[in-house]
């Protein structure tokens, strides 16, 4: 009788959990539809190997490709940087695979049961194919945070005039990534948790997280809405982001062994107050490995130099373009 009671209780709890998960999943679907309606694809879409790649194109002149970081979209750059660069360049701001309106590079990476992730080099190759379709055969590449690793992958594998790294996660680091990435990036965590996060995470939580990323600079007024940050709370994007970040370190470890091969001009900018990606772990050792690198340390700047030190970033892009013979 006691065994029957335990089995009945377990069955009820299991059914309740399944019902709660189903409700969360449906609520997440409705919320995602609202988020996507507020953040429609405003750029162009090209198809690479049957997968959609979304890109915003502004301006005329030498080609500059902007690659955003973890949890972002191309809109992070359009807050201020893109408009200013478009006075001198044709600026192509991409949604990385799995973010914004770009698809993962393979259907095999979709779904709750896959915990695979695109490497920085795979993403670089994918975006380079998209750029070539748009006539950008040898662009200047600007990568922020995780996008810095993709920019370095581009320099290793694809034609580029030069590279600008902004707070880039480009070198292997001691320890592991934050536990949230490890949990969401696992097969079990990626299956169970994203519907609940997508359905329930409030904008206030996201705003507080942004404050930590921007610190010590303030989050620009209206940034959460204009930059489309809530797009990162969609179920599939949560999975893509966690899996890519969780798998990053082994890739940059392998890539870093090849960095001395890169002979094109590289400008590296990193803030002294960056507490997301540390200059002494990434920017400083990266600069020693590259034969044609220039390192700029930004005093008092956090993880978002293209917002907190925009003039310095634009000057670095101009320097890289001049060094590459684009200006």
First and final CA of the chain: distance in angstroms? 83
- In total, how many domains does the chain have? 1
pLDDT, one tens digit per residue, over 170-216 is 999 998 888 788 888 888 888 888 888 888 888 899 999 999 999 99
Q: What is the pLDDT of residue 53?
A: 98
- CA–CA dist 222, 80 (Å, integer): 12
Q: List the chain pLDDT tens, one digit each, 327 residues.
A: 555 444 443 333 344 444 444 455 566 677 888 999 999 999 999 999 999 999 999 999 999 999 999 999 999 999 889 999 999 999 999 999 999 999 999 988 887 878 889 999 999 999 999 999 999 999 999 999 999 999 999 999 999 999 999 999 999 999 888 878 888 888 888 888 888 888 888 889 999 999 999 999 999 999 999 999 999 999 999 999 999 999 999 999 999 999 999 999 999 999 999 999 999 999 999 999 999 999 999 999 999 999 999 999 999 999 999 999 998
Rounded to 5°, angle at Cα 67 from 64 and 72: 140
Q: Which strand (E) or helix (H) includes residue 95? A: none
Residue with tokens 């995470």, as numbered in its chain: 201
Q: How confident is the model at residue 190, as a pLDDT? A: 81
| Residues spanned by the domain of 282 | 42-177+248-323
- Got the DSSP string for 129-149? HHHHHTT-SS-EEEEETHHHH
* Pair 54, 102: CB distance under 8 Å: yes
Output the pLDDT for position 24: 54
In a domain, 165, yes or no: yes
Whether residue 26 is contained in a domain is answered as no
**Is 120 within a domain?**
yes
Residue 156's CB: how many other CB atoms inside 10 A? 16
| pLDDT given for residue 28 in this prediction | 60
Looking at the domain assignment, is residue 137 inside a domain? yes
> Whats the size of the chain, residue-wise?
327
Residue 25: predicted pLDDT: 52
Contacts 24+ apart (CB under 8 A), 39-46: 39/73, 39/75, 39/100, 39/228, 39/230, 39/231, 41/100, 41/101, 43/74, 43/93, 43/101, 44/134, 45/101, 46/130, 46/133, 46/134
- CATH assignment of the domain containing 314: 3.40.50.1820
Give the pLDDT of residue 303. Answer: 98
**pLDDT at res. 52:** 98
ω into 308 cis (within 30 of 0): no
Q: Give, for 69, the enclosing helix (H) or strand (E).
A: none
Is residue 302 one of the residues assigned to a domain? Answer: yes
User: What residues does 141 pair with on adjacent strands?
Assistant: 65, 163
**d(Cα 94, Cα 141) in Å, to the nearest integer?**
11
**Helices and strands: H and E segment counts in the chain:** 15, 8
CB-based contact 163:131 (threshold 8 Å): no
The backbone region for 111, taken as left when phi is positive above 0, alpha when psi lies in -120 to 50, beta otherwise, is: left
Inside any domain, residue 167: yes
Q: State the burial class of residue 22 (Cβ atoms within 10 Å of its Cβ: 0-12, 13-18, 19+).
A: exposed
Residues ≥6 apart with Cβ < 8 Å to 86 = 58, 59, 60
Structure tokens at 93: 């701001």
Q: Is residue 57 part of a domain?
A: yes
The burial of 36, by beta-carbon neighbours within 10 Å (0-12 exposed, 13-18 middle, 19 or more buried), is given as: middle
Q: pLDDT tens-digit profile of 136-164?
A: 999 999 999 999 999 999 999 999 999 99
The pTM score is: 0.91
236 with 110: CB under 8 angstroms? yes
In a domain, 188, yes or no: no
């Amino acid at each position: 009788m006691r065994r029957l009671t335990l089995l009945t209780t377990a069955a009820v709890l299991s059914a309740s959990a399944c019902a709660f998960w189903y409700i969360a999943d449906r609520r997440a679907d409705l919320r995602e539809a609202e988020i996507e309606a507020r953040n429609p694809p405003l750029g162009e879409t090209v198809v690479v190997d049957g997968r959609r790649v979304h890109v915003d194109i502004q301006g005329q002149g030498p080609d500059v490709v902007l690659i955003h970081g973890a949890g972002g979209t191309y809109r992070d750059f359009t807050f201020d940087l893109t408009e200013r660069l478009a006075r001198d360049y044709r600026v192509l701001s991409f949604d990385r695979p799995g973010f914004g309106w770009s698809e993962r590079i393979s259907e095999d990476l979709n779904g709750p049961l896959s915990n695979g992730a695109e490497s920085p080099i795979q993403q670089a190759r994918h975006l380079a194919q998209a750029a070539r379709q748009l006539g950008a055969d040898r662009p200047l590449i600007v990568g922020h945070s995780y996008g810095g690793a993709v920019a370095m992958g581009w320099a290793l594998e694809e034609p580029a005039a030069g590279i600008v790294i902004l707070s880039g996660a480009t070198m292997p680091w001691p320890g592991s990534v934050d536990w949230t990435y490890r949990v969401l990036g696992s097969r079990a965590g990626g299956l169970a948790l994203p519907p609940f996060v997508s359905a329930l995470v409030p904008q206030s939580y996201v705003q507080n997280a942004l404050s930590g990323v921007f610190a010590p600079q303030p989050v620009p007024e209206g940034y959460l809405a204009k930059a489309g940050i809530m797009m990162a709370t969609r179920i599939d994007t949560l999975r893509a982001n966690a899996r890519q970040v969780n798998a990053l370190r082994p890739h940059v470890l392998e890539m870093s062994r090849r960095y001395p091969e890169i002979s094109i001009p590289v400008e590296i900018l990193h803030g002294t107050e960056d507490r997301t990606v540390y200059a002494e772990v990434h920017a400083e050792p990266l600069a020693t490995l590259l034969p044609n690198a220039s390192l700029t340390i930004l005093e008092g700047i956090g993880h978002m130099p293209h917002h907190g030190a925009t003039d310095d970033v634009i000057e670095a892009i101009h320097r890289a373009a001049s060094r590459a013979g684009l200006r």
